[in-house]
Amino acid sequence: MNIVENAIAKKGSLYGLGIGPGDPELLTIKAHRILTSVPVIAYPTMESGKVLARAIVADFIRPEQIEVPMPLPFSVDRSSQPYYDIAAKKIAEHLEAGRDVAVLCEGDPMLYGSFMYIFNRLSDRFHTEVIPGISSTFASAAMLGAPLTYRNDVLSIMPATLEAGVLRDRLAVADAAIIIKLGRHFAKVKAVLEELGLFTRALYIERATMPNQTIKAIASVVAEEVPYWAIVMIPSQTNPQ
């Protein structure tokens, strides 16, 4: 171990913990081991007050573990960067003191995960490990019973926050697609799907794998009621049998 490695070793380790889409049984054994052994657990809390990541693993958190809520704005843009600066600073204080910190991340940490912003701020200063999680995108395909891609199919994952024209261009060339971050963007997505003749192929799911999971015929979805935790899926049409 050289001097730099030795200095890092005395500090705590940072874990980006993928905790899966909602069902606590979809935690990996590794995520469970780290979650239950670290002294400090950090997790995002939304402006809306919702704390989904913590709720998923609530049964595994012990009273003696230190909890570090990370208040974050709902959307990630330039204005959200100070929130991540503050969260990273709080986490760094524990790491500097030699305490390992697990940052909970719903689904997989490296797929549109809030942990990535902590990773970008701290991974060059502290030993960091990212534990992959089951992404809501793939959990949704499983819950919908929808084979997603065959053979040479190309899958596109895209946020509903894109402008309608961009969504249209991306969806027009996709063999299969998953649209995330629906919420108030559902009506726009619906209009684009109708324009492309994809509406009848599209599937809809809310809160996949959670106790209140809901699967609806997409034509019956009321735009004003679509939550953030919802996905539209367009499975491949290729069916090799």
231 scored as a contact of ligand SAM (CB under 6 A): yes
Of 34-42, 66-74, 133-141, 184-192, the segment contacting ligand SAM by CB under 6 A is 133-141
140 scored as a contact of ligand SAM (CB under 6 A): yes
SS3 call for 6? helix
The least CB distance from residue 32 to ligand SAM, in Å, is 18
135: number of CA atoms within 13 Å, CB side? Answer: 13
The least CB distance from residue 101 to ligand SAM, in Å, is 19
181 scored as a contact of ligand SAM (CB under 6 A): yes
Q: Tell me the number of residues near ligand SAM by CB under 6 A.
A: 24
The least CB distance from residue 98 to ligand SAM, in Å, is 29
Identify the sign of the CA torsion 142, 147, 151, 153. Answer: negative
Question: Which position's Cβ is nearest ligand SAM?
Answer: 107
Q: Which of residues 16-55 bind ligand SAM (CB under 6 A)?
A: 21-22
User: CB of 12 within 8 A of CB of 101?
Assistant: yes
SS3 call for 217? coil
Identify the sign of the CA torsion 147, 153, 158, 162. Answer: negative
- Helices marked H in the chain: 3-9, 29-37, 52-57, 81-96, 115-122, 136-144, 164-172, 186-195
The residues binding ligand SAM (CB under 6 A) are 21-22, 106-108, 111-113, 135-137, 140, 180-182, 205, 207-210, 228-231
